[in-house]
Structures are given as C-alpha cells and as structure tokens.
C-alpha cells in the first residue's frame, strides 16, 4: 500500500522526487505518512480535502482486501 500512495502522490505534484511515504503500525493497523514539498501540499490535499479523501478511499479499499485498517496522513 505504501507503493500505491507513492505512485498517486508523485502523479499529483510538481516535484515527485520530494515525495516520501513512511509506513508505521502493527499487523492489523497501518498508518501511512505522506511528506511532500511545501509548495505541493495544496495539490495533494486538494480543494476542501477532496484529493486526499480520494486517496484515503482507494487505500482503504486496498487495505480491506488485505484485512488491514489503513490511515493516510499528510504531514509537513
């Protein structure tokens, strides 16, 4: 799932080399932290959070197939 979030985030931003995704959590819960260049933060979040909400929906569906609860957070 980490790779999925990386691909989605890199497709959205102007500086794809600055995208970093870290995965933490246990066996049933996973937290994915997405770090991007400060100039690209708005592109990943989107208007009223629509883009990041869509990313969370896709990743949540992938997590259900693996039997895991997944959370995606955009951090600076």
Supply the pTM of this predicted model. Answer: 0.90
The residue ranges of every structural domain in the chain are 2-75
Residue 23 has phi, psi (to 5 degrees) of: -115, 125
Pairing label, strands 29-35, 20-25: antiparallel
What pLDDT sits at residue 24? 93
What pLDDT sits at residue 2? 92
pLDDT along the chain (76 residues), means of 10: 94 95 91 95 95 96 92 92
What pLDDT sits at residue 25? 87
What pLDDT sits at residue 26? 81
CATH class of 2-75: alpha beta
Measured CA to CA, the distance from residue 13 to residue 19 in angstroms comes to: 8
What pLDDT sits at residue 22? 96
């Amino acid at each position: 799932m980490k790779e999925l979030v990386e691909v989605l985030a890199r497709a959205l931003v102007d500086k794809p080399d600055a995208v970093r995704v870290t995965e933490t959590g246990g066996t049933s819960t996973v937290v994915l932290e997405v770090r991007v260049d400060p100039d690209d933060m708005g592109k990943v979040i989107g208007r009223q959070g629509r883009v990041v909400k869509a990313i969370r929906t896709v990743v949540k569906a992938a997590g259900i197939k693996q039997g895991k609860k997944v959370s995606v957070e955009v951090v600076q």
